Amino acid sequence: MSAVRACALPAAALLHDSVAQGAYADCFCIDVPVAVSHAAFVEAFYTTPVFRVERWILRWALSRPSSDADAHRLATGACDTFAAWIVRGRAPDQLHLVDVTGRTQSWLMVAAVGDDAAPGGTRLYFGSAVMPARGRAKASVRRGWLFRSLLGFHTLYSRVLLSAARSRVLAMRRG
C-alpha cells in the first residue's frame, strides 16, 4: 500500500513561480500502480467525498457553487474556473490554480513511475502555496501564530485529499 508523503517540488512544477515570489509552498505525493492521465487525476481529486464537503462549504460560505460536471470540465481544459479557483497555468501533466483572493494556490501533477521490472505506475502530486501579502515584494509569507496553528490541519487535510484522490482514481478505473 502506497502512503502519502511529503516530497520536494519536481523541477518542472508550475508552483516554482510562486516560490520565487516568496510563497510558502508544500508538496505531497503518492504512487498508484497503474497509468493515470492528468485529466483523470484532476477529476478524481475534485470529486472525492472529502472534496465535495469543501465544495459544499464554498457554495454556502462564498456563493461559489461547483459540480462534478464542473470538475470534469476543469480536468479536460474546457473551463478555467472551478468553485473559488481560477486556472493560473496548465501543462499536459499539471494544473495550477489560484483562489479568487490571489493569496492561496493549488497545484496537481502526474508523473510516470516504475522501471522495466514494474512499468506503468503513476505518481500523483498535490501542492499548495500561500502568497505573501501584497506590498511585500519578494518577502516570504509571514509565519505568525495563525499560520503555524493552521499548518498542521492543512498538512493533514492535504494528505487526506491526496489519499482520497488515489482511491477515487482506482475506483474510477474499475468502473
Which pLDDT does position 139 carry in this prediction? 53
Which pLDDT does position 140 carry in this prediction? 57
| Nearest alpha carbon to residue 110 among 49, 11, 31 | 31
Q: State what percent of residues in the chain have pLDDT above 90.
A: 77
Grid coordinates 473551463 are at which residue?
79
| Cell representation of residue 50 | 472529502
Taking the C-alpha atoms of 100, 94, 12 and 27 in order, what is their torsion angle to the nearest 10 degrees? 70
Neighbours of 76 (CB within 10 A): 14
Neighbours of 6 (CB within 10 A): 11
Task: Parse the chain into domains and list their residue ranges.
Answer: 5-174
Q: Please, what is the average pLDDT of the chain?
A: 90
pLDDT digits (tens, 9 = 90+) for 52-93: 999 999 999 989 999 999 999 999 999 999 999 999 999 999
Neighbours of 128 (CB within 10 A): 22
Reported CATH class of domain 5-174: alpha beta
Could you write out the three-class secondary structure of the chain? CCCCEECCCCCCCCCHHHHHCCCEEEEEEEEECCCCCHHHHHHHHHCCHHHHHHHHHHHHHHCCCCCHHHHHHHHHCCCCEECCEEEEEEECCEEEEEECCCCEEEEEEEEEECCCCCCCEEEEEEEEEECCCCCCCCCCCCCCHHHHHHHHHHHHHHHHHHHHHHHHHHHHHHC
Q: In whole angstroms, how large is the CA radius of gyration of the chain?
A: 16
